[in-house]
Amino acid sequence: MTANSSLTGDQVLKGLQEIVKELRSKLPNSKLIIIGHTPYTISRIQTAATHNNQVLKSMADNNNIYFFDLTSNLTDSSGNQLANMFRTDHLHLSAQGYGVWDQVMRPTFEKLLNQ
């Protein structure tokens, strides 16, 4: 969801829920990893993203569906984006941001690959 998106947070959430539902119905034995919205600099979008992350997290069972919220790794203690974790557009991760992504995600990937 971008700052000039015409979709509401609820519409984005509904779309994500439908994707999960479709994947689970077509690939019931697959593992699904949901990565939450990264933190935004626009407060109304961040509010929607936080809500959506909470709902998406509730879909995870940590057996077949995993959820990761990287927000705490990409923000300071006030909840503001750490500038070095994002590109200048404040939306896409920088190389350092992807380093954090790797650090957080790697244990689960390794666990799943070794099953």
- In this prediction, residue 1 carries a pLDDT of 44
Q: How far is CA 95 from the centre of its chain?
A: 17
- CATH number at 102 reads 3.40.50.1110
Residue 4 lies inside a defined structural domain of this protein? no
Residue 70 lies inside a defined structural domain of this protein? yes
pTM (two decimals) = 0.85
| Closest to 48 measured CA to CA, from 10, 103, 93 | 10
> Where does the pLDDT of residue 115 fall: very low under 50, low under 70, confident under 90, or very high at 90 and above?
confident
Residue 1 lies inside a defined structural domain of this protein? no
- Domain holding 67, by residue range, is 9-113
How many alpha carbons fall within 13 Å on the CB side of residue 62?
A: 5
Residue 50 lies inside a defined structural domain of this protein? yes
**Torsion (CA) 86, 87, 89, 93 in degrees, nearest 10:** -50
Residue 2 lies inside a defined structural domain of this protein? no
Instruction: State the burial class of residue 37 (Cβ atoms within 10 Å of its Cβ: 0-12, 13-18, 19+).
Output: buried
**Total of domains in the chain:** 1
How many alpha carbons fall within 13 Å on the CB side of residue 23?
A: 13
The per-residue pLDDT for range 4-48, each reduced to its tens digit, is 558 899 999 999 999 999 999 999 999 999 999 999 999 999 999
Residue 3 has pLDDT above 60, yes or no: no
The per-residue pLDDT for range 84-112, each reduced to its tens digit, is 999 999 999 999 999 999 999 999 999 99
Q: Are 60 and 66 in contact (CB under 8 A)?
A: yes
Residue 29 lies inside a defined structural domain of this protein? yes
